[in-house]
Amino acid sequence: MMVEADSAHTIPLLETRQLECVRDDRLLFSDLSFTLTEGEILQIEGANGSGKTSLLRILCGLRLADAGQVLWRGEEVSVVREDYYANMIYIGHLPCIKGDLTTLENIRALLDTRSQLAPLDEIEQVLALVGLAGFDDVTSKALSSGQRRRILLAFLLLAKARLWILDEPLTALDVEGVALVETMLLEHRLAGGSAIFTTHHGMQLPCAMSTVTLGRAGNQPC
Amino acid sequence: MMVEADSAHTIPLLETRQLECVRDDRLLFSDLSFTLTEGEILQIEGANGSGKTSLLRILCGLRLADAGQVLWRGEEVSVVREDYYANMIYIGHLPCIKGDLTTLENIRALLDTRSQLAPLDEIEQVLALVGLAGFDDVTSKALSSGQRRRILLAFLLLAKARLWILDEPLTALDVEGVALVETMLLEHRLAGGSAIFTTHHGMQLPCAMSTVTLGRAGNQPC
Amino acid sequence: MLKAFSHLLARDLRLAFRSRHELANPLIFFVLVVSLFPLAVAPSAELLQVMAPGVIWVSALLSVLLSLDRLFKQDYEDGSLDQLMLSPNPLVILVLAKVCAHWLLTGLPLVLVAPLLGMFLYVPDEAIGVLMLSLLLGTPVLSLVGAIGVSLTVAVNRGGVLLSLIVLPLYIPVLIFGANAVDVASDGLSVRGQLLFLGAVLALALSLAPLATAVALRITASR
Amino acid sequence: MLKAFSHLLARDLRLAFRSRHELANPLIFFVLVVSLFPLAVAPSAELLQVMAPGVIWVSALLSVLLSLDRLFKQDYEDGSLDQLMLSPNPLVILVLAKVCAHWLLTGLPLVLVAPLLGMFLYVPDEAIGVLMLSLLLGTPVLSLVGAIGVSLTVAVNRGGVLLSLIVLPLYIPVLIFGANAVDVASDGLSVRGQLLFLGAVLALALSLAPLATAVALRITASR
Amino acid sequence: MIKKIWAWIQRFSSPKHFYAISGKLIPWFAVPAFLLGIYGLYMGLFVAPTDYQQGESYRIIFIHVPAAWMSMFIYIVMAISAAIGLIWQIKLADMIAAASAPIGAWFTFLALVTGSLWGKPMWGAYWVWDARLTSELILLFLYFGYMALQSSIEDQRTADKASGLLVIVGVVNIPIIHYSVEWWNTLHQGATVAKFDKPSMHIDMLIPLLVMALAAKLFYAAIVLMRARNEVLYRERNRQWVRDLVKKL
Amino acid sequence: MNGSEFSWSEFFHMGGYAVFVWSSYGLALGIVLVNIVSPLIERKRVVKRVKRAIARDRHASQANNS
Ligand code: HEM
Ligand SMILES: Nc1ncnc2c1ncn2[C@@H]1O[C@H](COP(=O)(O)OP(=O)(O)OP(=O)(O)O)[C@@H](O)[C@H]1O
Ligand SMILES: Nc1ncnc2c1ncn2[C@@H]1O[C@H](COP(=O)(O)OP(=O)(O)OP(=O)(O)O)[C@@H](O)[C@H]1O
Ligand SMILES: [Mg+2]
Ligand SMILES: [Mg+2]
């Protein structure tokens, strides 16, 4: 809020400069620059294979861009890695869930990687919120695909990160689950958080939302 | 068509009788009976964890029901397995795709398991239809998640089975892909085929569609 | 049916040839393990010669064991196994095709490279033929019996060592008779008995193991 | 940072204890492989005694090798590894925690059960202590160096044998010195040199391997 | 100053520049390699005297020793270029490493086989489990491991870095090969077969040996450039300059 | 050889070690040749692949324009 005052000097939360990604001889995108400010929600659009997942992984620093930079509060991500990772959370296509651990243990393990602790009753509360009440001591391999995704939603809520990077968060969720994600995003934004996400299924957010659209893959040989 | 004439004696294509499924002490459904006739499209509805996947796998004979029967043209599935499998095709959550094979080889391998052959130009045509034109000699691990699902759609079209059993066929598909699946289902129905599918994302079919709804999981201890 | 068999065989072979290094791997593992022993024990010719049949057979067994994973595991995880089980063709035939492919890719190379390793370990020339023959009869059994083990553990994740626990005891008769044949041949005696035994075991395994594997798959892959 | 270390260690241990059979598996594999040898070679006491150090060490090495997969593979496949790499804590610490867990679950049990196997294979009593000590110094190196190998091959599917091709050559010095120490101790000679060497290798591996592993993970897990 | 050097390195190591220069360099290595090879063979086979202990069989030395030296030398070259590739992100260095591996593997193989062929008349066996022999065998496996890893990772950048790291880790084997003869002796008293008693070598033997070793190095330089050029063409296949160039071929 | 006159048959005989010596030299020659030939073949293959890629891209861009 204070920063807004002299917005001329505002440093965006996340910024990309001339990003380029090449996979298997195909130029997926190049010269991709955009910024994300606090409280902004950004959807990455694009057809299948247009490079959304690749872009998100580059934003996270899990993949190297073939050219260009990703800046966190004005500094190269690889330089301020610790600060960046402490404030960012990424949830991708993959489950990140151990079938042999219970719901509760899975959440604890995920939080542990971020060195975060959460009291049991808070976890219980969040589990109820995402529709997993009563499943806290069920081993995760006995959960359905949608239920497993809901564990990740709980993790997302508990981690309290400032920036969410979500790759198709609606996968496997039922109608109620979709509504839940929408609410979560709205509340996150109200609390000043930002988010970048992809989805193929129209997400209806009653708020301003920027979009970045990636071109169709395979058209541009590089 | 001929069968319709004396519909009193019509044997349904697929019929379930008092199916029951218990997983981990939770009764997912019981006393589930429905029929599917030729040219009928049936959606299985239900929240996350209500047992849709389990039901479909039981219908395929990949899983044993805890009680009840599945009949294919009036006969127990385990008895007429060969006839059933020659006319049915199941596509589940999993990719069934080998990352090391090319798109073309993957399709060939899938057809081979059904002892079906398809001439190259037919395959090319279908690939173009599902939006994979030009990807036929790309190894599949270099495809995006949506592109991989499209290989399965091509397989589905080429296998020319009478009954389709599809578990969330819209996963990872973009808007265009969703429209494609809708068209495929319609044409399949026009050709006299039947289908059973699940999805959480409203599929708009401009035709009659039956539904079976499963209850919320975990509510009924058994 | 024959077509289903040959198609699946071809697919598995193609899959293996696609990653060519992968192809050489069980072989290299075999060579590596065999050459670990002379390093670990004092490398005197007499000692090595006495150990040789045992070392070569144990290594062959281990390298087949290690490569078993590729029989069904991957197919289970990516769902291809579901499609195989939904095939109108009898599952037994398909299983047999996969086992054949596995043997061609792991067992056969071992048989072919064994003479070289035998020479490294000072196996007398007259026993080299028996070494190859015993492996030729024995390795298919290892693949066939291994298939049962894999199909039982396919749904268990990280089943690597569980698999060996299940399979190794079943391998022991083959190991004993195979190694013993080479041992006896080194002393210049007749090995007809041992080879007949291995042949009989092979016939038995060939007729029963694919059935058992098919049944096991239907049970374990139900998720 | 210490907390991140201990939490991850605890998670891995808990995961292992959750499937209890899994826990015992490397141990059982070790015992099984060691006992294959008396079956495969003519079981005379002198022969076994000469072979014993080599056989025990080779088997230990193989059972660690086989269990390496569980270090990162699963985490890579289910995406947990991504989360580890996105942790605000240094990756080296997390790697070290995972390697520690791995050693506690595979190396340590081997050290504890080795005396029993040594006695089975007629290792003289005075060499038993050295056997344990050499394994105690050597198995952590196997876990540490193995971690590098796993992290390099984590993105390669069916990398099982590729892993052994990469890792076994690096294991050989440890094997030679470890087995030799036991051998020499059986003859009643001093083994200070060998044990010092193993200790030095351990110190080196402990300081460099986690770093190399962390670097390798950042490279290979980019998909 | 440093900046200037850096800029120069960057320019020189650009694949395009390298391709142009290496094309001109190859003959400068290949021709001397050929001439030295002929001269070395002549000296070794016709001029060098018969060894009073080993008779004529020692002439294998002129193949065996250069090959053995090359097997280690090439590995070290690979490790250094891999390190350069990893640290300074110079693609050319990775290509040199990748191009070296098959050559190194061939030399290792040659050293192993000629060693065995020499061992039969000298020790009465083609193979003994001596430390040096074994560690040379391990070196062959390290080469194989590098090539296997390189080819099994699809993404070229990842493959280069991962296999580069592997070579660097594998460097520990080199001193083991070199010093193993002594270590093994201290360990296995009396068990050693390979005690190369080398009475200070006759100058007529030493010269052809050194000539052959030099010829081998030059040969390697020529071949590695040829291979690296192929790598450049393949990896830069989407660049315009490669396309223009290939169209003319 | 020094002093006594040179004889080719003696030279090829290598004091009884002919098999070992000449197979070493033969193998060395073979390996040298393989090392020379394989990059040349490889080069042909690479050039062919690049040419095919060029053709494919021209094809694709024509298809796009029309
Ligand atoms: C398969 C068998 C053999 C292998 C793998 C082998 C390997 C090697 C290696 C790696 C070197 C280079 C060592 C270094 O520079 O540190 C070398 C050098 C040498 N080898 Fe062999 N060798 C074998 C057999 C033999 C035999 C049978 C002889 C002769 C009796 C022999 C004589 C020599 C000599 C004279 C050198 C040069 C020594 C020096 O540079 O200090 N090698 N060998
Ligand atoms: N392997 C398993 N073992 C025990 N219970 C399981 C197993 N897999 C699923 N379940 C339980 O069975 C129930 C139904 O799972 P199923 O996968 O059939 O649901 P679904 O309707 O397909 O859900 P989704 O929409 O999330 O895919 C879930 O409540 C889950 O807890
Ligand atoms: N491992 C890989 N190696 C080479 N190319 C790849 C790899 N993974 C993906 N690609 C290619 O990169 C492109 C983008 O893939 P990506 O997964 O980023 O797409 P996406 O936008 O997430 O698609 P989807 O909507 O289907 O998830 C695809 O065209 C694909 O062919
Ligand atoms: Mg994606
Ligand atoms: Mg489901």
More confident residue, A222 or C152: C152
Token pair listed for B163: 């009954």
The whole-angstrom separation of Cα E176 and Cα E178 is 5
| D47 contacts in chain C (CB < 8 Å) | 47, 50-51
Sheet strands side by side (includes A194-198): A88-91, A163-167, A194-198, A41-45, A210-213
pLDDT of E184: 58
Q: Which residues of chain D have pLDDT under 50?
A: none
Instruction: Evaluate: CB of B141 within 6 angstroms of ligand 3.
Output: yes
Distance in Å, alpha carbon of E128 to nearest chain A alpha carbon? 47
Contact E33, E222 (CB under 8 A): yes
| C70 contacts in chain D (CB < 8 Å) | 158, 160
pLDDT of A145: 87
At A201 the three-state DSSP class reads coil
Instruction: Calculate mean pLDDT across residues C121-126.
Output: 88
Query: In residues, how long is chain B?
Result: 222
The whole-angstrom separation of Cα C98 and Cα C104 is 10
Q: Is residue F51 part of a domain?
A: yes
Q: Is the pLDDT of residue B216 over 60?
A: no
The whole-angstrom separation of Cα E19 and Cα F51 is 18
Tell me the average pLDDT of chain B.
Answer: 87
Give this prediction's pTM.
0.86
E 181-200: CB under 8 A from C: 188, 191
Q: DSSP assignment of chain B, as one string?
A: -HHHHTGGGPPPSEEEEEEEEEETTEEEEEEEEEEE-TT-EEEEE--TTSSHHHHHHHHHTSS--SEEEEEETTEETTTSHHHHHHHEEEE-SS----TTSBHHHHHHHHHHHTT----HHHHHHHHHHTT-TT-TTSBGGGS-HHHHHHHHHHHHHHHT-SEEEEESTTTT--HHHHHHHHHHHHHHHHTT-EEEEE-SS----SS--EEEEPPPTTSSB-
Q: B221 pLDDT band (50/70/90 cuts)?
A: very low
Task: Show the domain range for E103.
Answer: 29-45+58-243
Per-residue model confidence as pLDDT tens digits over B141-172: 888 889 999 999 999 999 999 999 999 999 88
At A118 the three-state DSSP class reads coil
Distance in Å, alpha carbon of D93 to nearest chain A alpha carbon? 11
Q: B33 pLDDT band (50/70/90 cuts)?
A: very high
Contact B150, B115 (CB under 8 A): no
Per-residue model confidence as pLDDT tens digits over E103-152: 999 999 999 999 999 888 888 878 877 778 888 888 999 999 999 899 88
At D89 the three-state DSSP class reads coil
CATH of domain A14-96+161-219: 3.40.50.300
The whole-angstrom separation of Cα E22 and Cα E221 is 10
Highest mean pLDDT among B38-52, C169-183, D24-38, F27-41: F27-41
Q: Is the pLDDT of residue C147 over 90?
A: yes
CA distances from A41 to A208, B77, C40, F63 (A): 8, 51, 62, 38
Structurally, chain F folds into a number of domains equal to 1
Phi, psi of B141 (to 5 degrees): -70, -15
Instruction: Show Cβ contacts of residue F65 under 8 Å, excluding neighbours closer than 6 positions.
Output: none
Contact A25 E157 (CB under 8 A): no
Q: Is the pLDDT of residue E91 over 70?
A: yes
Task: Show the domain range for F33.
Answer: 8-65
Tell me the average pLDDT of chain E.
Answer: 86
Q: Is residue E249 part of a domain?
A: no
Percent of chain B's residues with pLDDT above 70:
93
A 8-27: CB under 8 A from F: 25
Per-residue model confidence as pLDDT tens digits over E150-204: 988 878 889 999 999 999 999 988 888 787 766 654 332 222 233 344 445 678 8
Per-residue model confidence as pLDDT tens digits over A120-169: 999 999 999 999 998 988 988 888 889 999 999 999 999 999 999 999 99
CA distances from E136 to E72, E167, E181 (A): 9, 15, 12
Per-residue model confidence as pLDDT tens digits over F46-64: 999 888 888 877 766 766 5
Residue in E138, E114, E137 with CA at minimum distance from that of residue E126: E114
Give me the residues paired with residue B196 across strands. B42, B165
pLDDT of C48: 85
Do D and A make contact via 3 or more CB pairs under 8 A? The reply is yes
Residue that has been written with the tokens 């073949």 in this structure = F41
Q: Is B164 left (phi over 0), alpha (psi -120 to 50) or beta?
A: beta
Q: C18 pLDDT band (50/70/90 cuts)?
A: low
pLDDT of B9: 57
Tell me the average pLDDT of chain A.
Answer: 87
Half-sphere exposure of B205 (CA within 13 A, CB side): 24
Question: Domain boundaries in chain B?
Answer: 14-96+161-219
Label each residue of E185-217 as H, E or C: HHHCCCCCCCCCCCCCCCHHHHHHHHHHHHHHH
Q: E10 pLDDT band (50/70/90 cuts)?
A: confident
The whole-angstrom separation of Cα A79 and Cα A60 is 13
CA of residue A184 to ligand 4 center, whole Å: 22
Per-residue model confidence as pLDDT tens digits over C45-57: 788 888 899 999 9
Q: E44 pLDDT band (50/70/90 cuts)?
A: confident
DSSP F6: P
Longest dimension (CA), chain F: 84
The whole-angstrom separation of Cα B49 and Cα A130 is 13
Any D CB within 8 A of E161 CB: yes
pLDDT of A24: 75
Contact E114 F28 (CB under 8 A): yes
Q: Is residue E20 part of a domain?
A: no
Helix axes of C45-67 and C108-120: crossing angle, nearest 10 degrees: 160
Percent of chain A's residues with pLDDT above 90:
54
Q: Is residue F29 part of a domain?
A: yes
The whole-angstrom separation of Cα F36 and Cα B145 is 44
Mutation probe of ligand 3 site: the residue of A54, A64, A170 with most atoms within 8 A of C-beta: A54
Contact C35, B118 (CB under 8 A): no
If one counts every other C-beta atom within 10 angstroms of the C-beta of residue C59, the result is 24
Token pair listed for D173: 């010095």
Residue from D39, D50, D161 to probe the interface with C (highest C Cβ count within 10 Å): D161
pLDDT of B69: 93
pLDDT of A104: 92
pLDDT of C1: 66
Half-sphere exposure of A7 (CA within 13 A, CB side): 4
Contact A25 E237 (CB under 8 A): yes
Highest mean pLDDT among A69-73, A200-204, C15-19, D11-15: A69-73
Per-residue model confidence as pLDDT tens digits over A47-98: 888 999 999 999 999 998 988 999 999 999 989 999 999 999 999 988 888 8
Query: Where does ligand 1 bind, in terms of residues with CB under 6 Å?
Result: E 61, 64-65, 68-69, 111-112, 115-116, 118-119, 122, 132-133, 136, 177-178, 196
Tell me the average pLDDT of chain C.
Answer: 86
Token pair listed for D163: 């892993």
Contact C158 D74 (CB under 8 A): yes
DSSP D104: I
Q: Is the pLDDT of residue B5 over 50?
A: no
pLDDT of D156: 81
Token pair listed for E86: 């990893």
Q: C9 pLDDT band (50/70/90 cuts)?
A: confident
More confident residue, A1 or D141: D141
The whole-angstrom separation of Cα D186 and Cα E242 is 65
Instruction: Calculate mean pLDDT across residues A24-46.
Output: 89
ipTM: 0.83
Structurally, chain E folds into a number of domains equal to 1
Token pair listed for D65: 């090798």
Measure the N-to-C terminal CA separation of chain D; round to a whole number of Å: 27
A 60-119: CB under 8 A from D: 60-64, 82-83, 85-86, 88-90, 92-98, 100-101, 105, 108-110, 112-115
Q: Is the pLDDT of residue B130 over 90?
A: yes
Residue that has been written with the tokens 């975060």 in this structure = A116
The whole-angstrom separation of Cα D59 and Cα D34 is 6
The whole-angstrom separation of Cα A24 and Cα C18 is 17
pLDDT of E9: 82
Chains touching E (3+ CB pairs < 8 Å):
A, B, C, D, F
pLDDT of E183: 64
Contact C143, C105 (CB under 8 A): no
Helix segments in A130-198, DSSP class H:
145-159, 175-190
pLDDT of C20: 57
> Which range (B19-28, C192-201, E19-28, E44-53) has the least confidence?
E44-53
